[in-house]
């Protein structure tokens, strides 16, 4: 199938930080791609993939990046665009200053070019038990209902797509510290709000009171400024600060009740 | 440090910064402020400390000042050096506060170490802590500048530290309450700085 490409004669200038493998050295390469109305960063990258030739006319390897849903829901295509971490699918060329500089999110291990390994985020979700346990050896029956107003509010927290933008923005997430970062913390607040999830809320609080947990937050509040989904990450963190304060006193002075 | 104790160390660090270290700073600067009323007034105020029995003063100094400030300072250096500053990319107010909090913290470890050497240790070696002691120190304009930067670092670090304390213990949660806390703590920073700087200038 061929699509009629509207040619305008204009071009888009890009500078991409390349890296051939996980431990490879980095280099910058310049590209120039034909402009089309409504282009996003990914469509420019797709053109380069089809024509891996630099602006100087030299043949190079196609640029590697991650993508999946193309509608800012999956979180896979995050990269640093003109210095800011964001999704390459929802970032439109028209809104960017040129040359457009693309870099990988270096807070994560780089696999190749713009592709990074976000495993630490998924490991963190496992660590904090970011799920509602519903499996048992017998039928557990229906759980308590979530009040509608609470559901609407919790929906905002559930928009997190583990894209890693908050991790890249956070000055305390790096190989220098074991901080799990803002995204998994906010998930603790989400699942501790859920009526069935709340049945294990002490376990999640204990998890984020461990090493590399909640207390590593330094309140720079970059996460909430960077989050593409507008999740109130710093409110979640402050709220968890209160919950863990209570949990801390409960652990020491408290009764034999685990949860309430 | 034993495993999984980081949360408690961090909370202790946050608490000690306010009580007793922060309270001590307010007390210390207020006492210095008596110098603005003249040499006699300052010597009378500091002379009050001599009324406390020496052994009690030593215990209070160690428990209320040296041990808490040593922990807060050393653990704070560890915290400061685990940060990767990015104010160039994220030039927001809070990110600047984050960075300045760490820079002032590291500077304060140096400043306070020097300050203790120049005053408390000299006292232990037999020098008299009185108006003329500070007068001689700040007669050197570089030393005066060093002290003014030190005082401003301390007042900033405490004021912004109160803001972080309120968040870290879960007292201010909403962005509105955090914003108001920013204003209140910054007003506190200005007022305490006026007290501190007026005091040091009184020795010039």
pLDDT tens digits, A11-26: 999 999 999 999 999 9
Residue B193 lies inside a defined structural domain of this protein: yes
Chain B, residues 68-107, CB within 8 A of chain A, namely 79, 81-86, 89-90, 92, 94-95, 97-99, 101
- The residue to which tokens 């979530």 are assigned: A146
Highest CATH level, class, for A11-116: alpha beta
Element (H, E) at A96: none
Q: How much of chain B exceeds pLDDT 90, in percent?
A: 90
Cα distance between residue A207 and residue A196, in whole Å: 18
pLDDT band, residue A139 (cuts 50/70/90): confident
pLDDT band, residue A9 (cuts 50/70/90): confident
pLDDT band, residue A258 (cuts 50/70/90): low
pLDDT tens digits, B14-46: 999 999 999 999 999 999 999 999 999 999 998
- Predicted confidence (pLDDT) at residue B85 exceeds the cutoff of 60: yes
| E-strand stretches of chain A | 11-19, 26-34, 78-81, 84-87, 100-103, 110-112, 115-116
pLDDT tens digits, B125-163: 988 888 999 999 999 999 999 999 999 999 999 999 999
CA distance B188 to chain A (A): 19
Identical topology for domains A11-116 and A119-253: no
Extract the tokens encoding A23: 């431990």
- Smallest CA-to-CA distance from A83 within A19, A8, A169 is with A169
Whole-number average pLDDT of chain A? 93
Q: What pLDDT score was predicted for residue A259?
A: 63
Q: How many domains does chain B have?
A: 1
Residue B1 lies inside a defined structural domain of this protein: no
- Predicted confidence (pLDDT) at residue A5 exceeds the cutoff of 60: no
Cα distance between residue A169 and residue B88, in whole Å: 11
Cis (ω within 30 of 0) for the bond into A160? no
Among A175, A178, A238, A242, the residue to mutate for chain B (most B Cβ within 10 A): A238
Cα distance between residue A109 and residue A21, in whole Å: 10
Q: Please report residues of A whose CB lies closer than 8 A to that of B89.
A: 83-84, 169
Across the range A108-118, mean pLDDT stands at 97
Cα distance between residue B96 and residue B90, in whole Å: 9
Annotation-wise, does B13 bind a ligand?
Answer: no
Q: What pLDDT score was predicted for residue B147?
A: 98
Among B84, B100, B161, B162, the residue to mutate for chain A (most A Cβ within 10 A): B84
Q: What is the CATH number of the domain that holds B159?
A: 1.20.1300.10
Of A171, A238, A243, the CB nearest to B98: A171
pLDDT band, residue B49 (cuts 50/70/90): confident
Of A171, A235, A238, the CB nearest to B86: A171
- Predicted confidence (pLDDT) at residue A1 exceeds the cutoff of 70: no
Residue B58, domain extent: 6-201
Asked which of A163-172, B71-80, B117-126, B192-201 is least confident by mean pLDDT, the reply is B117-126
CA distance B12 to chain A (A): 11
**Do A92 and A36 form a contact (C-beta atoms < 8 A)?**
no
| Domain spans, chain A | 11-116, 119-253
- Provide the ipTM: 0.93
- Predicted confidence (pLDDT) at residue B2 exceeds the cutoff of 80: no
**Do A43 and A31 form a contact (C-beta atoms < 8 A)?**
no
b/e for A98-122, b at 16 or more Cβ within 10 A? ebbbbbbbbbbebebbbbbebebbe
Q: Please report residues of B whose CB lies closer than 8 A to that of A234.
A: 167, 175, 178
Q: What pLDDT score was predicted for residue B1?
A: 46
Contacts of A57 (CB under 8 A, 6+ apart): none
CATH, range A119-253:
1.10.1060.10
């Amino acid at each position: 199938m061929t699509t009629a490409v509207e040619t305008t004669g204009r071009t888009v200038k890009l500078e991409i930080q390349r890296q051939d493998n996980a431990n490879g050295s980095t280099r910058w390469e310049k590209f120039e791609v034909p402009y089309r109305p409504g282009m996003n960063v990914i469509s420019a990258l797709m053109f380069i993939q089809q024509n891996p030739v630099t602006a100087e006319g030299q043949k190079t390897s196609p640029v590697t990046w991650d993508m999946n849903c193309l509608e800012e829901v999956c979180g896979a295509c995050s990269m640093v665009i003109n210095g800011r971490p964001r999704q390459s699918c929802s970032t439109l060329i028209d809104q960017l200053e040129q040359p457009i500089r693309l870099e990988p999110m270096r807070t994560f291990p780089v696999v190749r070019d713009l592709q990074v390994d976000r495993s630490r985020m998924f490991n963190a979700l496992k660590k904090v038990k970011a799920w509602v346990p519903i499996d048992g050896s017998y039928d557990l029956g229906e759980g308590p209902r979530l009040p509608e107003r609470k559901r609407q509010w919790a929906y905002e927290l559930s928009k997190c797509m583990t894209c890693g933008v908050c991790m890249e923005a956070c000055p305390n997430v790096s190989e220098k510290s074991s901080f799990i970062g803002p995204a998994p913390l906010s998930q603790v607040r989400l699942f501790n709000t859920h009526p069935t999830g709340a049945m294990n809320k002490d376990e999640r609080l204990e998890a984020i009171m461990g090493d590399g947990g909640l207390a590593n937050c330094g309140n720079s509040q970059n996460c909430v400024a960077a989050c593409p989904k507008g999740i109130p990450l710093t409110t979640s963190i402050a709220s968890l600060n209160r919950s863990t304060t209570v949990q801390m006193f409960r652990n020491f002075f408290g009764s034999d009740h685990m949860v309430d | 440090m034993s495993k999984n104790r980081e949360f408690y160390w961090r909370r202790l660090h946050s608490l000690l910064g306010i009580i007793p270290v922060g309270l001590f700073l307010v007390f210390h600067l207020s006492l210095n402020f008596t110098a603005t009323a003249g040499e006699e007034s300052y010597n009378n105020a500091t002379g009050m400390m001599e009324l406390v029995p020496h052994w009690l003063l030593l215990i209070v100094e160690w428990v209320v000042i040296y041990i808490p400030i040593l922990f807060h300072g050393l653990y704070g250096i560890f915290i400061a050096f685990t940060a990767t500053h990015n104010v160039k990319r994220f030039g927001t107010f809070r990110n600047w506060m984050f960075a300045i909090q760490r820079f002032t913290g590291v500077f304060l470890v140096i400043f306070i170490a020097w300050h203790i050497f120049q005053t408390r240790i000299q006292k232990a070696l037999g020098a008299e802590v009185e108006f003329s002691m500070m007068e001689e120190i700040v007669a050197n304009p570089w030393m005066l500048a060093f002290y003014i930067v030190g005082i401003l670092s301390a007042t900033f670090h405490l004021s912004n530290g109160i803001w972080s304390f309120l968040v870290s213990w879960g007292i201010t949660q909403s962005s509105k309450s955090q914003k108001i806390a920013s204003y209140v703590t910054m007003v506190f920073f200005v007022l305490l700085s006026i007290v501190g700087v007026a005091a040091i200038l009184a020795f010039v």
